[in-house]
Structure 1
Amino acid sequence: MAAPAPDFSLAGCWAALEAALRGPCQGQAGRVWFKESSGRNLRGRDWIAPRAALGKLYPRGQVPEDLIERLMSECRHRLYIQSCKQTDSGLVIRLDRPALFMQVLSNLPFYTRTLKAPLAKKKCVILNCVALQGNKGPESLTVSHLRTILLVDHLAVLLRQPGYVVHTTPNLPLKSSVCNFLKLLRVTWPSTRQTISNEGVSNFKKILSESIYTQLGKFETPSDQTHNRLPKDVLFKVHLRQFVKEKGLEGYDANLDMALVQEEALRQIAELQNIVLQEDAEECLVIHVVGCEEEFQQQKIDLLWRILDTSIDRVTQRHLVCGPVKITGESSHINAVHYFQFRRSQMQEASVMKYGNLVQGDSWSEIIGSMTSATIRFELLATAHRSPLNLEVTQAINISTKGTKSGAFVMYNCARLATLFDHFNKSVQQGLYPKFPEISQLNFSALQKEGEWLLLYNYIIPFREVLCQTTQSLSSAKGIRLTISTEIVCKFLVNLSIDFSSYYNHVHILGEPLEHLFNQMFARLQLMKALREVFHSALSTLHITPPNQL
C-alpha cells in the first residue's frame, strides 16, 4: 500500500486545530491549543486546550459537542486524530500513533532533511564577522572572538538551507594562519589571493573629504594645517551624532559622537559594498556579528557606510551582538588557540584513559579532532548569543560522555547508533537476522514503549521546523539589533541525546533471532534510522562529523 503524502507538521496541526475550535466569530482571544512534550503528559494526550484558555471562548470552558463532532469530522484523517475528549483539564486530543509512525518513518527524507524551497524573491545575507576584520593573526583571537566566528559558521549553514544567498566576510588572505587554525575547528573560511580594490577605498576618501559631516581630514589643501591635529593613522574625523539626528536614526548608542576614520574601516566597508553591488538580490541584509566589547565601534562602521553611500537603499544593516565570555580556572587568560589546544589535550587524555594503546594513527587523530570541535562548539553555542557565557577551563574538569549537556555526550549517543547498525549488519551477514524488509511490510503498532512515541513526536516530526526557527526573526526584527535563536540546534541535540539515552538504556533493540520478534525489532530499527538521520543533519549545520564508533 502506498504511503500517504508527507504533509504532517506540528505547526500545520496547531493552525488547523486553532481554526477549527475558534470558529468564524470567535476572533483572536489568545492561543488555545498547546502541544504536550513531557513523557508523563504524553501517556494520555498529545494536544490540550486548557480549560482556562477555553473559558475565553466558551461559557465555563465547555466546548459544544457539535463543534467537537465537526472538528473530528473535518480533521480526523488529515491530522491523524484518534480521539478528542473533554476532561477536567480541558479538551484533549490523542493522535493515531501507529498511523503516524507509518507516515513519518515511511517518508524519512521529508522529516529529517532540509528541502530547499525557492524564495519568492532572491534574498542575500552578508554575515560580517567583525572578529576577523583587520587580518589579525590567530594569537590575537580571544575566546569571545571564537564564539562569534563559530556562530557565523553555523548561521551561514542554517540560512542557506531555506534558500538565502549567504556571503561571509571578511575574505581572508589565501593560506593565512587564521584559516589554518579555523580548519582545526572544521571551519572553512573564504580566502583568496585578491585584495580589496584600492579604487573603492580611494573613492571613499574623496567622498569623505567633501562630506558635510567631515570635520577634519588629511586630504585638504596644503595650506590647511588642521590635519596635524589628527592622530597617527587617522584619515578623517567625522560627525556621526549630527548624521544620526538629521536622518532620524534610532537604536544607536547615545554616546556616539565623532568617528576617527582609519583606512581599515574604509576597506571593511568597501568589501561589504562590493558584495552588495555584485548581487542582484532585491533585498540584502548585512548582519554584523560582533562581541559586545566591539559593538560600539561597529556601530560607527555602520553609520560611516550610510554616509559614504546613501544610494544603496535595498541594504538593511543589523547587529547580532554576542555576550562576553568569562573564563575561570587556572587558565583564565588564555586566547582562542590555547583554549583549543587545552580542550584537545583533554580529549586526547580521556581517549587514552578509555581505549589505551588503541589511540594512535590518523583515524584516531580525526576522531579526537572532531570530538574537540564538537566540545568547543557546544560550549560556545549552546547559550543564547546575547547572554554572557561562563567557561571553566581547568584540568579538574573531565571531558567525558557522561555530562549530559556536553558535545561529547551528543557525539557518544550518535556513536551508539552507528555501533547499533554495525552490529545489526554483521548479524545479517552471519545469518542471525533477515535483511531489512520493505517499510510497507512493517506493523508499527509494535512500538508501544513510552520513549518511542516521545522520540518521534518531540524530535523527528518537528526537526525541520526547529531548523526554520532560527531564520524566522530575520524579517520581523526591529531596530538595529538582531536576536536570533542560534542556540536552538545545540539544545535540541542535547535534549534528544538525553531522551534517546534513556530509551536506549531501557530497551533491547536487537532482540533474540526469533521470527515472531522480528517485526518489533525492524520497527525499532526504522525509528533508530530516523534518529540517526536527525543527528547527522543537525550536526552538519555545526560542521561536526558524526562519529562511527564509541
Structure 2
Amino acid sequence: MEPLGGVEYPGGLRLSDTVQALSAALRPGEPVLPGLWFKESSSRNLRHRDFLAPKAALSALYRRGQIPEDLIQRISSIHAAGVPPIQSCELTDFGLAVRLERSLVFQQVLAHSPCYLKPSTSNSAIVKNVILNCVALHGCKSPDALKLSHLRAILVADHLAEILRAEGTSVHLVPGLREESFKHFLQELKVPWPSVVEDSSICSATLALKDTLQNSTCAEAFRAEISHLQEQDVQAKDVVCRVRLKGFLEQRCLEGYDPNLDLFTVLEENLQHLAEIQQAVRQCQVEDASSGCMVIHVVNCEEEFQQQKMDLLWQLLEPGEHSASQKHLVCGPVKVSSSPSSTTSAAHYFQLRRAQMRGASVMKYGDLVQGDSWDEIVDALTSAAIRFEMLATSHRSQVTLVLEDTSISTKGTKSGTFVMYNCARLATLFQSYHSGVHQGLYPKLPAPSELNCKTLREEGEWILLFNYILPFPDVLSEAAHLPVSAKGIRITANTEAVCKFLVNLSMDFSSYYNRVHILGEPLPHLYSQMFARLQLMKALQSVLHSALATLHIPPLSQL
C-alpha cells in the first residue's frame, strides 16, 4: 500500500485506531481510557471538526482544565499506522477539536477501498468456534407451524453467522433441515440453512444419550395419566423419563437460571436435539482441537424456559470431554399492531409481504412488472422488508409489525425497501455512466491514484466517507462482538447494527444524490470532479453491497 503523509498504512485507516492514538496523546505513558474522544457524525459539527475531546474530559485530566502547552503540538504531529493525517488541533469553547486533512483521507480511502470491507479485527475473534443452535427449527414440521417469533430467531441466527464468519470465526449451524417444505420456505427467504447430512449418526447418538439418561440416578420412571399427556399433545411412547433439575442446579451452584426450574419430562425429540449439538461440538474439536467451542442457543423469549432445561440436561449427560460452554441469546416477542394476540404464521406473513411488494411495484410501474427479472426484484424487496422489520431492533426488544398495505413504501426511510431503492439508484447511476462511455460522451474512469480528491468539497461527500466508508470495518466488528465473559447464561449481540447502518447510509446518500448532479456535462473541465465523485460512489456501493451480503439480501440493479 502506498504511504500517506510519510507513514505506510498496510491495513487502511481505522477510526478505532485513531481514537486510541488521540487518547494516548492526552495521557502519554498512561493506560488509554475510553470516552476521552468522540468521533463527530452530525453535519453541523463536521463543518468544524472531525474529533472532539470535550471540556469535561479535559478538566478531569488536567487541574482546572489547564492544557499543557505542548499538547496541541503533540496531537497535531501524530503519525501512526491506521491514523489519518491531521490538519489541525485547536482548543475551542467545546474542548479540543481535531480536523483531518480531508483531501488526503479521500485519496487514501478511495485508492484502497477494498480495505474497508472487512472487520477491523479480522482473524482475531475471541471465540474461534461457535455453534449457533436455532431452537425454533427443532421439531418444526412445516412453515405453517412457524410463529413470527420463530422467524425472528432464524433471521437473527442467520445474520449472526455471517458477521461472525467475516470476523474469522468458524460457525456451525444446527439443527440440519429435514423437511423439504421447510428447505423451500427458507430458500424463498434467502436463508441458506444447511440440511442434515449424516442422519444415521444422529440416531446413534440419540440412542446413546437415551441409554445414558435411563441408567442415570437422576432419572425417574414416568407415570402420569393419559389425560395429562393429551393436554400437552405428547404421546406416552415418546417419553423417555423425567428428571428433577433443581437438585442438579443447586449441587453445581449454577447461576443465571430460572429459579423455578425443576421437573423436566424428557422426550425422544429432546435427546435428538442434544445429539445434533453434540455432533457439531465433536466436529469442531476434530477441525480445531486447540481452540475452545461455544454453543449459543438462539431462542425466542417464549421458549427460553424450556431451553434452559435442555441446557441443564446436556450438562447432566455430558460432564466430560465433549461438553462445551453454553450461552443463550434471547429474542424478544413479535407482536402485530392490530392484534397483540395475533396467531399470524411466518408463512402467512411472508406471503403477505410478497403480495404487497408486487402490488406496490405494479402500482408504480404498471404492466412492466412481469417476467423472471421482476420476480427476482419482488423477492429481493420482500426479503429486505422482512429482514429490516425483524433485525433493525435490538434482539432483546419487542418487534411490532404493521401488516397493512399502507406500511409498505420505497420512500419510508426506516425500511428495507428504502435501502433497496437507493441501492438501485446507485446501480442506475453507473449504468448511465457506462452507457455514456460506450457512446463516447465520457472517458473511462481513471485509476483511483490519478483522482483529484481536492474537488470533493461538498459537505455530503465527507459525510458519506467519514460516517460510512471509513467506519464500516468497525461496524462489522461491533456487530460480531460477543461478550463471552459476561456473567450468567445470557449473551447479547449487536445484530441490529448493520440494519441501522444501512438505513442511515441510505438517508444521507439520498440527501446527497437529490442535491448533487454527479454525472456532469461531457465537458473536459468538469471531468476531474465527476471522476472523484464516481469513485466515491463506487466505494459507497461496495460497502452497501457488502453490508447487504451479511443479511443475504441480493442488491438490486434496477427498480
Q: Tell me if both proteins adopt one fold, taking TM over 0.5 as the criterion.
A: yes
Residue 321 of structure 2 corresponds to residue 312 of structure 1: yes
CA 1:40–1:266: 2 relative to 1, 3 Å: same
Task: Report the equivalent of 1:35.
Answer: 39
Task: Report the equivalent of 1:169.
Answer: 174
Residue 23 of structure 2 corresponds to residue 12 of structure 1: no
What is the aligned counterpart of 2:380 among 340, 353, 370? 370
SS for the counterpart of 1:287 is: strand
| CA distance in structure 2 between the aligned counterparts of 1:424 and 1:228, rounded to whole angstroms | 75
Query: 1:22-48 CA distances to partner (integer Å, 9 max, x unpaired)?
Result: 1235x6666211111100000010011
What is the aligned counterpart of 1:536 among 529, 545, 558? 545
Percent identity over paired residues: 54
CA 1:450–1:80: 2 relative to 1, 3 Å: same
CA 1:330–1:263: 2 relative to 1, 3 Å: closer
Residue 194 of structure 2 corresponds to residue 190 of structure 1: yes
Q: For residue 64 of structure 1, report the CA deviation from its aligned partner.
A: 1.1
| CA distance in structure 2 between the aligned counterparts of 1:481 and 1:115, rounded to whole angstroms | 26
1:29-428 superposed matches below 5 A:
31-75=35-79, 78-113=83-118, 117-119=122-124, 123-173=128-178, 176-192=180-196, 194-195=198-199, 196-214=201-219, 216-217=220-221, 231=229, 232=236, 233-280=238-285, 281=288, 282-312=291-321, 315-329=324-338, 332-395=342-405, 397-428=406-437
SS for the counterpart of 1:264 is: helix
Q: For residue 75 of structure 1, report the CA deviation from its aligned partner.
A: 3.5
SS for the counterpart of 1:134 is: coil
1:495-506 superposed matches below 5 A:
495-506=504-515
Q: For residue 164 of structure 1, report the CA deviation from its aligned partner.
A: 1.2
TM-score (norm 2): 0.92
SS for the counterpart of 2:43 is: coil
Do the aligned residues in 2 keep the contact of 1:327 with 1:333 (CA within 8 Å)? no
SS for the counterpart of 1:477 is: coil
For structure 1, the residue ranges without an aligned partner over 5 or more in a row are 219-225
Query: 1:332-377 CA distances to partner (integer Å, 9 max, x unpaired)?
Result: 4321111011111111111111111111111111110111011000
**Runs of 4+ off more than 6 Å:** 227-230
Query: 1:477-530 CA distances to partner (integer Å, 9 max, x unpaired)?
Result: 321001101000000000000000001010000011111110000000000001
SS for the counterpart of 2:364 is: helix
Q: For residue 117 of structure 1, report the CA deviation from its aligned partner.
A: 4.1
| CA distance in structure 2 between the aligned counterparts of 1:547 and 1:299, rounded to whole angstroms | 42
Do the aligned residues in 2 keep the contact of 1:213 with 1:242 (CA within 8 Å)? no
| CA distance in structure 2 between the aligned counterparts of 1:46 and 1:122, rounded to whole angstroms | 34
CA 1:28–1:76: 2 relative to 1, 3 Å: closer
Query: 1:412-450 CA distances to partner (integer Å, 9 max, x unpaired)?
Result: 001000000000000111111111112222110110111
CA 1:476–1:459: 2 relative to 1, 3 Å: farther
| CA distance in structure 2 between the aligned counterparts of 1:344 and 1:120, rounded to whole angstroms | 37
CA 1:295–1:369: 2 relative to 1, 3 Å: same
Do the aligned residues in 2 keep the contact of 1:29 with 1:57 (CA within 8 Å)? no
Counterpart AA for 1:38: S
| CA distance in structure 2 between the aligned counterparts of 1:120 and 1:462, rounded to whole angstroms | 19
| CA distance in structure 2 between the aligned counterparts of 1:516 and 1:180, rounded to whole angstroms | 55
| CA distance in structure 1 between the aligned counterparts of 2:71 and 2:118, rounded to whole angstroms | 37
| CA distance in structure 2 between the aligned counterparts of 1:172 and 1:534, rounded to whole angstroms | 32
TM-score (norm 1): 0.94
Counterpart AA for 2:172: H
Do the aligned residues in 1 keep the contact of 2:360 with 2:408 (CA within 8 Å)? yes
Counterpart AA for 1:451: G
Task: Report the equivalent of 1:493.
Answer: 502
CA 1:208–1:413: 2 relative to 1, 3 Å: same
| CA distance in structure 2 between the aligned counterparts of 1:275 and 1:76, rounded to whole angstroms | 43
Counterpart AA for 2:86: I
What is the aligned counterpart of 2:486 among 456, 471, 477? 477
Do the aligned residues in 2 keep the contact of 1:317 with 1:480 (CA within 8 Å)? yes
Do the aligned residues in 2 keep the contact of 1:112 with 1:530 (CA within 8 Å)? no
| CA distance in structure 2 between the aligned counterparts of 1:199 and 1:316, rounded to whole angstroms | 23
Query: 1:224-247 CA distances to partner (integer Å, 9 max, x unpaired)?
Result: xx6889952322111111001000
Counterpart AA for 1:180: H
| CA distance in structure 2 between the aligned counterparts of 1:199 and 1:369, rounded to whole angstroms | 40
Task: Report the equivalent of 1:23.
Answer: 28
CA 1:134–1:345: 2 relative to 1, 3 Å: same
Do the aligned residues in 1 keep the contact of 2:120 with 2:474 (CA within 8 Å)? no
Counterpart AA for 1:405: K
Q: For residue 54 of structure 1, report the CA deviation from its aligned partner.
A: 0.2
Q: For residue 202 of structure 1, report the CA deviation from its aligned partner.
A: 2.1
Counterpart AA for 1:102: Q
Do the aligned residues in 2 keep the contact of 1:213 with 1:239 (CA within 8 Å)? yes
Counterpart AA for 1:500: F
Query: 1:164-200 CA distances to partner (integer Å, 9 max, x unpaired)?
Result: 1111111111x61111111111112111364253322
CA 1:80–1:483: 2 relative to 1, 3 Å: same
Query: 1:439-467 CA distances to partner (integer Å, 9 max, x unpaired)?
Result: 22211011011110011000000101101
| CA distance in structure 2 between the aligned counterparts of 1:529 and 1:159, rounded to whole angstroms | 26
CA 1:189–1:37: 2 relative to 1, 3 Å: same
CA 1:404–1:117: 2 relative to 1, 3 Å: closer
| CA distance in structure 2 between the aligned counterparts of 1:314 and 1:475, rounded to whole angstroms | 17
SS for the counterpart of 1:279 is: helix
Counterpart AA for 1:365: D
Counterpart AA for 1:410: V
SS for the counterpart of 1:512 is: coil
Do the aligned residues in 2 keep the contact of 1:451 with 1:499 (CA within 8 Å)? yes
Do the aligned residues in 2 keep the contact of 1:144 with 1:291 (CA within 8 Å)? yes
Do the aligned residues in 2 keep the contact of 1:116 with 1:161 (CA within 8 Å)? no
Q: For residue 398 of structure 1, report the CA deviation from its aligned partner.
A: 4.2
Q: For residue 3 of structure 1, report the CA deviation from its aligned partner.
A: 5.5
Task: Report the equivalent of 2:458.
Answer: 449
CA 1:28–1:154: 2 relative to 1, 3 Å: closer
Task: Report the equivalent of 1:222.
Answer: none
Aligned Cα root-mean-square deviation (Å): 2.1
Counterpart AA for 2:376: E
CA 1:81–1:430: 2 relative to 1, 3 Å: same
For structure 2, the residue ranges without an aligned partner over 5 or more in a row are 230-235
CA 1:500–1:336: 2 relative to 1, 3 Å: same
